[in-house]
Amino acid sequence: MKKPYRHQMHQIAQKLRSQPTDAEAKLWYLLQSRNLRGYKFRRQHSIGRYVVDFYCPERKLIIEIDGGQHADQVEQDESRTADLNRMGYLVLRFWNNEVLGQTEAVAQVIMNNLEQPLTPALSPLEGERIR
């Protein structure tokens, strides 16, 4: 018997939580336990057919950390982001090297977006990178 779709997404999220990248682990350190302005974040959270890296339910804010493989899948990432935007979520995307090398700037962009109305924003790090 085939497992229900929601259960499959939960299993994928669980596996991803147990194997974070260095960038995900570093950003989670900043986001966990309401460390960032008191907002609660979840990591590797399933939303519809997607598992997102970090999610703040109170602000409908999704944070995605992209590794090098994402340079070859720009159209897929844009489609995914557009789907999530249509569902009412704001998606911020950062490269691994931004999180690892410019952590304070990444945290500032996230904090700025936590305090803004729920609309798309631009990153001072990459201009149009956040989408």
- For domain 5-114, which CATH number applies: 3.40.50.300, 1.10.287.370, 3.40.960.10, 3.30.310.160? 3.40.960.10
Do β-strands 42-47 and 50-56 pair in parallel, antiparallel, or remain unpaired? antiparallel
Segment holding 102, helix H or strand E: none
Segment holding 47, helix H or strand E: strand 42-47
Give the neighbor-by-neighbor strand order of the sheet with 90-95: 42-47, 50-56, 61-66, 90-95
Around Cβ 85, how many Cβ atoms within 10 Å?
15
Contact of 73 with 84, CB cutoff 8 Å: no
Around Cβ 121, how many Cβ atoms within 10 Å?
16
Question: For residue 122, what pLDDT is reported?
Answer: 45
Model confidence pTM above 0.95: no
Each residue's pLDDT tens digit in the chain (131 positions)? 445 566 676 666 566 656 789 999 999 999 999 999 999 999 999 998 899 999 999 999 999 999 866 556 788 889 999 999 999 999 999 999 999 999 999 999 999 999 886 555 444 454 444 44
